[in-house]
Structure 1
């Protein structure tokens, strides 16, 4: 079975996109995801994206991290799919229904309403999510936010100085987070500008994380550190995040198609 694919990225956070809206794919096993995501022997990606038919939306989008695990949301991938669809659309994900509007090499996404209750993150037990009374070495008192997937956000003086490659996996797998967690370290430059680095659950250090930018912006706004619209600068580029008075988060930024191809399913099964 030959399967066509699109290789796309949002600020360097890259995806292999498979379209199963008309022709169903065989069962997608974690081993197949890992093989396709392998950068030496596969196509290579941070996430594998599968588009499927949906009765409630333009299409459904399933998201698999490069470790083979399926996750709820991916903001950068949603912008990429918005460009692929080429028109305003509603995309069903495990994290909720997302409205997208494509532009010229960019897209805007209504990421929905963030959740802050401890059991919506989820955490293992109740605590204040605006200033969690926990810490890991120099990272202390994070904000917890669910924006379709779970995030903790640490505000630090210099996020480039944080040992995120060692602290990221430690926090991700802490028993406090029963579904694991995405780890964000942010430096607020001014009320309209944030620098951000992200350890992504199941993917590791990433050049960009759309949901991480949303979670971080909202966390900064809740702490009174930022205005209701900010530029979030990630290693791969910049996203604009707004938090409207209707409580919906809007994320805007670029996405790019790198190339197209096809592969033999049995070569990766």
Structure 2
């Protein structure tokens, strides 16, 4: 299927690992020019090198997304280098874990503020696009608590609410905003890989709660995200797409 993305321009914040990396790979394969960042310089260089080896137009920088000024400046530079921006996605996250002031601060800075700051910095370029699309990364635990109280879930709920309101605000400008809420996703070296090795009983219990009987894959989430930002989804905005193998029990009216 032709997603009509060839020649589009994407800015991806935090896209060298996991779902972010998978999205970069799928977008690149569709002919999208990409500017990406992450804090780890080696990870940025590795991602850029591998995508360029496949013929993709990709540039990356090491950026600390908790540095508000530096992060905003990178988004502006990325838009200038690309000659515009059609797609913006921020994958930054402070990660899960039990409540503490440090974890709340990390979630506030990376899950909420990094999303807000990145979108605000990208808006001047997005407003000039004829097919602008923003994806905000949420999570199923923001809509249906599953693993106890945690800052990650609380701040993802906040950013999801903000994104929903933003979708209505930006729609008259032709800018679409959608949210994606993955359930547990298995990524080699990631959280669920570590849980599988160190807490096998909990890992197996979690899988037993998924009607499809397995965890998701980053590529599966990436494919859905890329479809959402494509012109084929031109009438979709303000939607929170849950991708969890049926794990959440609520009826989604």
| TM-score normalised per structure 2 | 0.29
More helix by share: 2
| TM-score normalised per structure 1 | 0.28
More strand by share: 1
